[in-house]
Amino acid sequence: MPILIVEESQSPSARSLVASLVADSMVVSDEARLARMLTEARASDVLVTAFAADEAAILRICAQACGVAYVIVLSAKADSASISRYFSAGAHEHAPLPSDVVELGARIRAARLVEAPTSSRTVARTLLAPIVESHTWRRADGLAEEALSSMIGTPLRLAHAREAVACRFGATLTLAAPEDGLELGVGLALPAATATTMAMQMVGEADEALLRDLAAELANVTAGVLKNELVAEGRSVALRIPKLQTPREFTAAWHSFDERRLFTGMLETHPFTVAVGVRWRGTCVVHGRDLREDMVLAEDLRKGGTLLVARGTRLTSSMADRAGRHAPTATVRVCAA
């Protein structure tokens, strides 16, 4: 499995630190090239360093590598909110800057012991079976049609598509299925004209902020319908918060899913895309003190015989803090974030 170190600065000292640990490490500055490299190297343990100018760039890179590489973020930000954002974007670990050479070397050696989720589409589909063989997955287009038609107030029809339309407003959210180590993604891509037409039809106005919120809410409603169907089929799922995305972020996010289904719809003469995907994230074991907001528990967290947090729960910030205080050394399996 490739190992990706995301460094928030482009300082010469940072480059020297990584180079001193692994002589054949590669440095990549172009995000598009990085995505291709990680996909091609999925079955290897190559070490790649990507430098990011700010937190937004770190989150974009993490999203690209999500499900493809083992991601270690090196950042001066060590507050819980920042770390939670890194984990939610796809990072596996965070180390503060300046980094200790011994500690970083140990993290890299440990990362090389982590097995890749899969390097074979045949094997991957077996892992994805709880979702891709479900009635909900097979009926995703019809369920999305019903949800969006009801919300917008106009009958809509979705057709299979090979690629998403060029969008101005994008939103993606995930539903974690912690018992299976899977994530189901639901996304919506709206060109500006489509978003404006929807907003005017629904509320009679269409400012920039409202259009962004509209994309998120439409994705949220669609995901909610899929969640209800999965629960009815006996699956335990937890809904995460929608993420607003630029066109580039939307494309990068959907490249991280192992199986994808794209549907195109039309509102009058204006196209839009609904995306549904599933990826295997696996699970990992963390201590109570390391729990973060948006993690989903794959098993009950207990202290002695007392249940603190039930499996399938998506942690809020206060829940994670409380679990860390009451059971800092207890271990629990979470759906990898």
Question: Is residue 65 pLDDT above 90, yes or no?
Answer: no
Q: What is the mean pLDDT of residues 43-60?
A: 76
Which residues have a Cβ under 8 Å from the Cβ of 223 and sit 6 or more positions away? 173, 175, 186, 239, 242
Question: Is residue 305 pLDDT above 70, yes or no?
Answer: yes
Q: Which residue has the higher pLDDT, 211 or 94?
A: 211
Let me know if 302 is exposed, middle or buried by CB neighbors in 10 A (0-12, 13-18, 19+).
middle
Q: Rounded to an integer, what distance in angstroms lies between the CA atom of residue 37 and that of residue 281?
A: 20
Question: Is residue 41 pLDDT above 90, yes or no?
Answer: no
Question: 6-10, 32-36, 59-63, 104-108: which has the minimum mean pLDDT?
Answer: 32-36
Give the Å distances, CA to CA, from 282 to 10, 45, 46, 298.
32, 18, 21, 10
Quote the mean pLDDT of the chain.
81
pLDDT tens, residue by residue, 241-274: 888 888 888 887 787 788 889 999 999 999 999 9
CA quadruple 103, 104, 110, 115: dihedral, nearest 10:
160
Provide φ and ψ at 318, rounded to 5°: -70, -35
Domains of the chain (ranges, CATH numbers): 3-111 (3.40.50.2300), 121-280 (3.40.1550.10), 283-335 (3.90.105)
In contact, 144 and 261? CB cutoff 8 Å: no
Q: Which residue has the higher pLDDT, 131 or 252?
A: 131
| pLDDT at site 277 | 92
Question: 186-195, 213-222, 246-255: which has the minimum mean pLDDT?
Answer: 246-255
Q: What is the mean pLDDT of residues 100-123?
A: 62
